[in-house]
Homo-oligomer: A and B are copies of this chain.
Amino acid sequence: MKQVLLIFVVLFQFSFVCFGQDNNKPAPAITNIAGVAYPLVLPDLRVEFRIKAPDAQKVQIDLGKMYNMTRDDQGVWTVTTDPQVPGFHYYSLVIDGVKVADPASESFYGTGRMSSAIDIPEKGADFYDLKDVPHGALSSKYYFSKVTNSWRRLFVYTPPGYDVNTKAKYPVVYIQHGGGEDERGWSVQGKTDIILDNLIAQSKALPMIVVIANGNVSSGKGGYSNEAMAAFKQEMTQNIVPFIDKNYRTLADVKNRALCGLSMGGGQAFYVGLASLDVFSSVGIFSSGIFGGIANPNGKAFDADKEIPGLLSNSKAFNQKLKLLYISVGEQDPRFEFTKSSVAKFRESGLEVEFSSFPGDHEWQVWRKSLHDFAQRVFK
Contacts and interface: CB of A to CB of B under 8 A. Distances in A.
A238 interface: no
| Binding site secondary structure of chain A | loop
B222 A6 contact: yes
A6 B3 CA distance: 60
Given A6-B225, A295-B4, A302-B3, A54 B97 contact: yes
Given A96-B57, A101-B101, A219-B12, A1 B294 contact: no
Report, as a range, how many residues of chain A touch the other chain: 35 or more
Contacts of A226: 1-2
Interface in A137-158: 137-142, 144, 148, 150-153, 156
B95 A12 contact: no
A361 B175 CA distance: 42
Nearest to A219: B12
Interface string A3-25: 11111111111010111000000
A179 interface: yes
A153 B95 contact: no
Given A3-B301, A103-B101, A114-B107, A96 B33 contact: no
A113 to B, nearest CB: 5
A124 interface: no
B96 A19 contact: no
A284 interface: no
A353 B17 CA distance: 40
Contacts of A58: 55
Interface of A: 1-13, 15, 17-19, 33-35, 51-58, 93, 95-101, 103-107, 109, 112-114, 130, 132, 135, 137-142, 144, 148, 150-153, 156, 163, 166, 179-180, 182, 193, 214, 216, 218-226, 228-229, 247-248, 264, 267, 271, 289-290, 294-297, 301-302, 307
Top-6 shortest CB links A-B: A8-B179, A55-B97, A139-B139, A6-B222, A107-B114, A107-B107
22 contacts: A4-B290, A5-B294, A6-B222, A7-B294, A8-B223, A8-B264, A10-B180, A10-B221, A11-B216, A13-B216, A15-B150, A17-B142, A18-B151, A18-B152, A55-B57, A55-B98, A56-B97, A99-B103, A103-B113, A130-B151, A139-B140, A166-B166
